[in-house]
Amino acid sequence: MSGLPLEGVRVLDLTHAVAGPFATMLLADLGADVIKVEPPEGDEVRGAAPIVNGMSSIFRSFNRGKRSVAIDLRKEEGRRLVRLLAARSHVVVENYRPGVREKLGVDPESLFSVNRDLVYVSIKGFRPDSKYGDLPAYDMVVQGMSGIMMAMGLPGDPPIRVPFALFDIFSGYAAALEALAGLRSGQRPFYAEVYLFDSGVFSMSYLVQSFLDSGQEPQRLGHVHFSYSPHQAYRDSDGKWFIVAVVNDRQWAKLCSALKLRACSDPVNSTNVGRVANRDKINEELEEVFSKAPRDHWLSLLKEAGVPAAPVYTLGELFSDDYSLGLLEEVGGSRLLRFSGSLNGERPTAKSPPPQRQGQDSLEVLRELGLSYDEINRLVRDGVVNA
């Protein structure tokens, strides 16, 4: 689509791994010109499994719509090039380990010295003034420390990891939001920080709030929702799973009308609090009922009755559903997940595929900075730049 809100905004992307690249990808999706600065060896996740058609799926997930330059920031001439880029940028995003940005000369003070109008967003593992301030953090670390791994699964299970970088993604959204806040703010320069741990715990929202209110650790209930009943997965006559998600008394009445349950005659079950207390009895009857017919039968019946219900899909089933085709776009020969919303009725599309190799756009970007071909060739020979 044309007329994206961040057209004309240049983002200097000094990030790697997941949280930072996801944030800058969102900005690229919204129209920003994102210049991804990679070390000569490339973003660390370029080597993450699986690698398909020469590119890591993790790298492919978070780097569409960007131009890649490969610069060795351990060399003074490399730092000079990044200062030139910063002087022509509106936003900088970085997620270096503690102390690294200062060693590489891309700390806020260094870049503000060449551009007082910058919005600088820093993604950190923990608050710098805390006892964990010097520790590096990955999503797995935060999942462990946040309590979420001990709130998932069933009693007696080992800690269970959410099988994607959930808190990295939330932190990326927070970083993109702070960048937009900085662009909207009249304050310059603008400096913002995102803390991976804090963002992770914040995203757990009512799971944490329930603990703060009651002092009780969350029960490990697997696919069962601790606040509502019936609100979980059930198995049909073929062993397939589907969700029933009753959240209020009206929906319970509709379920009763559709299924004629014995549990519906118990006045205690007319309220959600009562149903939560009687969850085991209600589920015993529902499991018996749902075991007598296929999933599609129950989904059709519950839809007609106005009861929230849905199949439990594998990823293969997900992308066999016609709706899910709208989640994807073809970019440079790869199917990618597209931007998840619309702007004025249109879905933004990726400007370009993820950069196949680090530094593939170095020549183009450095020419835009006014460097001559001879100077660029010298920088390549000296190992400052990959092009």
Kindly give the parts of the chain with pLDDT less than 70: 1-2
Write down the pLDDT at residue 100.
97
Q: Give the domain ranges of the chain.
A: 10-203+331-386, 231-312
Write down the pLDDT at residue 302.
98
Specify the CATH class of 231-312 in words: alpha beta
Per-residue pLDDT tens for 120-143? 999 999 999 999 999 989 999 999
C-alpha torsion sign, points 159, 165, 168, 174: negative
Active site residue 225: yes
* Three-state secondary structure readout of 16-57: CCCHHHHHHHHHHHCCCEEEEEECCCCCHHHHCCCEECCEEH
Write down the pLDDT at residue 310.
98
Write down the pLDDT at residue 255.
98
Active-site residue, from 16, 223, 225, 297: 225
Q: How far apart are CA 32 and CA 11, in angstroms?
A: 7
Per-residue pLDDT tens for 223-247? 999 999 999 999 999 999 999 999 9
Write down the pLDDT at residue 84.
98
Q: How far apart are CA 327 and CA 334, in angstroms?
A: 13
H helix runs in the chain, sequence order: 19-29, 57-62, 76-87, 100-104, 108-112, 139-146, 166-184, 196-203, 205-214, 249-259, 272-277, 279-290, 295-305, 315-318, 362-368, 373-381
Q: How far apart are CA 12 and CA 94, in angstroms?
A: 9
Write down the pLDDT at residue 1.
63
Superfamily of domain 10-203+331-386: Crotonobetainyl-coa:carnitine coa-transferase; domain 1 (3.40.50.10540)
